[in-house]
Amino acid sequence: MPCDILVALAGNPNAGKTTVFNGLTGARQHVGNYPGITVEKKEGTACCDGHEIRIVDLPGTYSLTAFTLEEVVARSVLADERPDVVVDVVNASALERNLYLTVQLLEMGVPVVLALNMMDEARSLGLRIDAEELSRRLGLPVVETVARRGKGLDELLHAAVEDVRARETAPWKPLIISYGPDLDPVLARMEACVNGAALLTSRYQARWTALKFLEGDEEIRSQCRLADLDATRELESMADEVAAHLKTTLGTYPEAVVADYRYGFISSLLRGGVVARSSDTADRLAFSDKLDAVLTQQLLGPLILLGILFLVYQITFVLGAFPMHLVEEGFSLLKTLVEAVLPEGLLRSLVVSGIIDGVGGVMSFVPLIMLIFLQIAVLEDSGYMARIAYMLDRVFRAFGLHGCSVMPFIVGGGIAGGCAVPGVLAARTLRSPREKLATLLTVPFMACGAKLPVFILFVGVFFPSHEALAMFLLTLAGWVTALLVARLLRSTIIRGEPTPFVMELPPYRLPTLRGLLIHTWERTWEYLKKAGTVILAISILLWAAMTFPRPDEKTLAALDVQTAATAGAGDAEGARALAQLRYSLAGRVGQALEPVTRYAGFDWRTDIALLGGFAAKEVIVATLGTAYSLGDPEDEGRLAGRIAVDPQWNKASAMALMLFVLLYAPCMVTLAAIRQETESWGWALFSLGFNTLVAFCVATAAYQVGRLLL
C-alpha cells in the first residue's frame, strides 16, 4: 500500500518528540541526513484507519526563525514537502514555552495536531490541563500522551488522520495575531509588497514572510534578494524604519515586540482554567525558588559549584581505586597467559605490546570514568546543569562569550568526562556567529573524557595523596585558558557585540535510578566502542611504527652501546630493546622533535605518544604502554610503575604533560566537527595550530617553573 498521508513531527528539544516518533513507527524507520548537510533525517511509516502514513521527524527547534541549521531545515521541509498535517509535540509541564513554536506553525498556515506529551509529569507537578478547552480555543485537535509508556499514541495518530480527512484539499489557513499599533500598519504594507512582487508566495504566506523581515531572518532576506532585489530593498527599508522608531520611542526592537505579543497570545489561551495549579504545586515552586536563592546566589552559588566539582573527583578516586585495581589485574593475567602460549617473536610483540599494553592501558580507567559519568548524569537529571549556565552567564559575557556557551563547555568536558564533539555541535544554539565561532574554538580546551586516562595515570603516580585536588585544578585550568583565549579572540579576529541571554530554568527533579544507569551506560559504551575500534587500530599502527624498520645486528650493536650510555638502561637486554625502538620510524620522528619538546620536559618516547594523540587522546596512554613495553620487555610492572622509576619523569614533567594534553590540538573527529560547523577548513586548521602553540607555551612555562619549585 503506497503512503498516502505525510505527517511531520515538530517540537522543542527534550519534549519527547523522538520518543513519539519511535512509538509510532517502531522498527519501520530509517535514519539518514538531509541532502548536502549533516542534520539527521529520520523517516518511518505507520498504518491507521486503512492509510499508510509516512512520518518525518523534524529536527528539534524552539522557533522557525533561521538562527540555527535545524530551524532552517525544519521550515524548509514544511514549505517544500507541505505535509498533510504537523503533529506538534509539546512538554505539558512547560506549556507556555512550548506553545511558542505552535503559534509560529499556525502563522505559517500549517495544519496542526497538538500532542500534550509528558502528561504524567505535568500531573505529578500538580498541573491540571483542560485539553478540550485548549482544543476549542486553538481550533485544532489536542491529544494527551505519555510517549515513554506508549499512552495516547494510537489516539494521536487517529486524530492526525481524521484532521487530514476533514481538511481534504482545503488551503493552508494562517493564524493572524495583532502585533500592536507600531507593527500592524507596517506589516500590512509589507504584506501587500510581498504579494505584489510574489516574493516566495509559492512557499510561504505573505504575512509570514513580512514577519521574518521584521525578525531579522537573514535566510528569508537572502532568498528574497535572489527573487526580486528592488522589492526586497523596499521591505528592508520598511523594517529598518520601524526598528529605528521602536528604538527611539520604546527602547526595544521588532523581534522583541513580536515575541512579547506571541507570548501574550499564548497567555490568553491558557487563562480561564485551561491550566490550573494545585496548592501543592505552589509549595513545590516556592521550595524550588528557595533552593535557587542559595544555589544560584551571586557569591555563594559559584563556591557551591566549585565544591560540587571537587566532590565529584573525590568520590571518583575514593570509590574507583579498587575496581580499577581489579581491571589492571585482569589485563596483567591476560598478558601472562598470552606470553605463556605464544612463542617469542613479532606476533607475541603485537598482541602483548601493541594490543594488551596499548588498549589495556586505556580500559583500566573505565571504572573511574563510569563513576564520573554517573555523577554527571545526577547533575543533569536533577536540573542543576541549567543553573550552572545561568550562574556563569555574567562571567562569560566579560570574556566575550554568551550564557549559552556554558553548555557546550560542560558537554565538551567542563565537568571532566564529556566529549568535545557534542560540545562543538551544542554551540549551534548560539545565535551570534561570532560568539558561536569563539565557543567552537575554545571548547577543545575542556577536560574531555578522552584526556582522563592521561590525567588519572600521572596524577596517581606523582600526586598520590592529592588526586582529587590535582584533577580539580586541571579542570579549572581548562576553563581559565578557554576564557582567556576567548577574550583574546573576541578582542582581535572575532570582534562583535554580545547578544542577550535568556533562559528558562527547568524544575528540580529527583533523578531516577533507571535514568542514571541508562545515561551512564550509554556514555561508557561509547568509550568502550572507541577503545575497541579506533584506539585498537591506532595502537596497532603505532606498534608497527615503533617496531619497523628493524636494524641489522651490526647497526643494533652500535645503537646498543649508544643507548646504554645515554639512556641509562638498567641491563643489556633493556638497552638492546630501547635501541630497536630508537631505530624505528616512530623513534626517529620522536628524536627529531626532542630538541624542541625537551624545553617542556618531554623526551622522544613522550613525543611519539603525543603524535598519536592528534588522532585520539586516549591513544596517548595506549602508546606509552606500547613504547615502555617495547623499550623494556623484561619489566613486568604496569605502565604506572615503569613511569614512576623512569628518571625522565618527575612532578614538573608530569604537570607539563598533563597541561599540554589538556590544551593541545583537538582530535581528528573534533576538527571535522569544527569544519562542519564553520563550513571552513581554515578555522579547523587554525584550531589545530593555535591550540598546540598555546599548549606548548603553557607546558614549557609550567615545566621550567616546576623544576625550580617542586
Report how far residue 620's alpha carbon sits from residue 609's, in angstroms, rounded to the nearest whole number: 5
Residue 602: the pLDDT is: 95
How far is the first Cα of the chain from the last one, in angstroms, to the nearest whole number?
A: 76
Considering the chain, what percentage of its residues have pLDDT values greater than 90? 28
What mean pLDDT comes out for the span 131-146? 92
- Residue 129: phi and psi, rounded to 5, are -115, 125
Q: Is the pLDDT of residue 486 over 70?
A: yes
pLDDT band at 688 (very low <50, low <70, confident <90, very high): very high
Residue 382, CA distances (Å) to 375, 389, 398, 513, 516 in order: 11, 14, 28, 12, 10
Given its phi and psi angles, is residue 5 left (phi above 0), alpha (psi -120 to 50 degrees) or beta?
A: beta
Per-domain residue ranges of the chain: 5-167, 180-276, 300-491, 521-709
Of the candidates 614, 581, 633, which has an alpha carbon nearest to the alpha carbon of residue 684? 614
The whole-model pTM stands at 0.62
Residue 443: the pLDDT is: 94
What mean pLDDT comes out for the span 582-591? 87
Q: Is the pLDDT of residue 169 over 90?
A: no
Report how far residue 374's alpha carbon sits from residue 513's, in angstroms, rounded to the nearest whole number: 10
> 516-523: which pairs have CB atoms within 8 A and are 24 or more residues apart?
516/374, 516/377, 516/378, 516/381, 519/373, 519/377, 519/380, 519/381, 520/370, 520/373, 520/374, 520/377, 523/373, 523/417, 523/449
What mean pLDDT comes out for the span 339-345? 84
Secondary structure of 479-532 in HEC code, one letter for each residue: HHHHHHHHHHHHHCCCCCCCCCCCCCCCCCCCCCHHHHHHHHHHHHHHHHHHHH
Burial class (CB in 10 A: 0-12, 13-18, 19+), 137: middle
pLDDT band at 280 (very low <50, low <70, confident <90, very high): low
CA dihedral 636, 642, 644, 649 (to 10 degrees): 170
Could you say which architecture CATH assigns to the domain 5-167? 3-Layer(aba) Sandwich (3.40)
Report how far residue 612's alpha carbon sits from residue 688's, in angstroms, rounded to the nearest whole number: 14
What pLDDT digit, counting tens, does each position of 12-35 carry?
887 888 889 988 888 677 766 555
Residue 320: the pLDDT is: 83
3 state DSSP class of 612 = helix
CATH topology agreement for domains 5-167 and 180-276: no
Give the list of residues 6+ apart from residue 499 with CB closer than 8 angstroms, or none. Answer: 402, 431, 432, 435
Q: Is the pLDDT of residue 676 over 90?
A: no
CA–centroid distance for 191 within its chain? 40
Query: Contact, 658 vs 458, CB < 8 A?
Result: yes
Secondary structure of 164-180 in HEC code, one letter for each residue: HHHHCCCCCCCCCCCCH
Query: Contact, 643 vs 461, CB < 8 A?
Result: yes
- Residue 311: phi and psi, rounded to 5, are -65, -35
**Statement: 180-276 belongs to CATH 1.10.3470:** no
Q: Is the pLDDT of residue 559 over 80?
A: no
pLDDT band at 362 (very low <50, low <70, confident <90, very high): low
Q: Is the pLDDT of residue 701 over 90?
A: yes
What pLDDT digit, counting tens, does each position of 651-673 carry?
999 999 999 999 999 988 788 88
Residue 568: the pLDDT is: 45
Report how far residue 237's alpha carbon sits from residue 242's, in angstroms, rounded to the nearest whole number: 9
Residue 327, CA distances (Å) to 313, 330, 334, 338, 577 in order: 20, 5, 11, 17, 28
* Residue 27: other Cβ atoms inside 10 A: 6
Q: Which residue has the higher pLDDT, 471 or 280?
A: 471
Q: Please provide the average confidence, as pLDDT, over all residues in the chain.
A: 83
Considering the chain, what percentage of its residues have pLDDT values greater than 70? 86
Residue 558: the pLDDT is: 65
Residue 633: the pLDDT is: 41
3 state DSSP class of 449 = coil
Give the list of residues 6+ apart from residue 543 with CB closer than 8 angstroms, or none. Answer: 349, 350, 353, 354, 355, 358, 626, 630
Report how far residue 147's alpha carbon sits from residue 18's, in angstroms, rounded to the nearest whole number: 9
- Helices 180-197 & 254-270 angle (0-180, nearest 10): 110
What mean pLDDT comes out for the span 301-311? 86
Report how far residue 689's alpha carbon sits from residue 665's, in angstroms, rounded to the nearest whole number: 7
Q: Is the pLDDT of residue 680 over 80?
A: yes
Q: Is the pLDDT of residue 504 over 60?
A: no
